[in-house]
Structure 1
């Protein structure tokens, strides 16, 4: 039996060195970034890669020796050695990354409800003052707000004022927020505009005021999506909230017209009007 004849050096460079190692490096990129492999299995794969790399190097060296015997120059050989050195460092780096990735704790996938809560919470800001006596709400009244405010109020019993800036939003969440304010006997004030469902939250305050330039905006109710839903009567919903305003001492003359403005517009009563009908407290 005769020994295997080494391939010509250029062929060996590509077939024994570059192409197999490129496949290994590509696999290491996947293992180190996307495919989480158990650490024990990584050690087995590492040992197999070391054996493979040694065989690659030996085959290239055999071709290099044969190249020299054929009176070939050293340029191709030194070029192959340089590539071999680069491949060594690349392999070490990727193997290190693969072990680091495998050792990272696996975080459980985010629950759908948690993701939705996070997305809704991004639509508004809740900020406590330094002395924790006032809570500023800025943004859209949306799902999960009542739950968050309940927690904040429980953690900060010294709260006495809620500062509002909002274009409105979900009326059921506004009712929840308003009931919390009324139950705690908190005061409310507006900074900027407080429109639509926000006015219900404002009306819940024991003492109610407007900062300079602030406005209250009122309009009739409308569904956020499409035509009226079954079993939902917008007039009854308006009457329900009109009764809430009445219970907060708002004048009946204002209650009659508070929902007259179409849902596509806003009615901003003047500060004097708001004072006269009881929206603002002395």
Structure 2
């Protein structure tokens, strides 16, 4: 009797697992389908892309990509790479010791410090846009890539501190004590002992900061013109009074999304490992 109950229970568990797997595949497909549709549309001619209903079997062409690259997107892409990479490096360099002080070597009233970091994300970005614009105008930093680097660093720093603190809280105290006994200083401990242990956390925090910086539009749209224009701002230029050219826009969007997709796939294992580690308490 107990064997039959166990078999029935096992079938129910397998059935429940299959149902959840099927649901996960459906949800994943719904998320990926718009991206696949955008990729397919980018290889269609403009007249085929504008058809309603759309023609999936329309002839494929590279005209959308040729038209996009003829507009000269490389300076904007280079600006996005510069702002995203440099701001991410600065965020990690600042957030790592801050998270260490808030977790392994807690400062006084560290909960108040964490709340202060979090409170900086409560103000809507648009509320601080005018003061930042006036300040940048007064010091001559409008249309300057360094202004975006500073803004992206301050924007992503609270997120990185919170994430890295979760990872650093899992570092065994014994290895820190062993490093102290061996005479390692603070910098040596952070570089040679703590950093290798929390590499997945650093990678995941850096990837998220890179994605947020790359996709940011509001600051870049208002504070830049032609010299420091980023890729998202460049994309807005395809919406003209002549109309919206779908094939060209889809091709441009796919090219601009490639750095984020490549970074995500390259650090996928560390991202999953880091986020999972940070969630374990």
Same fold judged by TM-score > 0.5? Answer: no
Higher helix share: 2
Higher strand share: 1
Give the TM-score taking structure 1 as reference length: 0.21
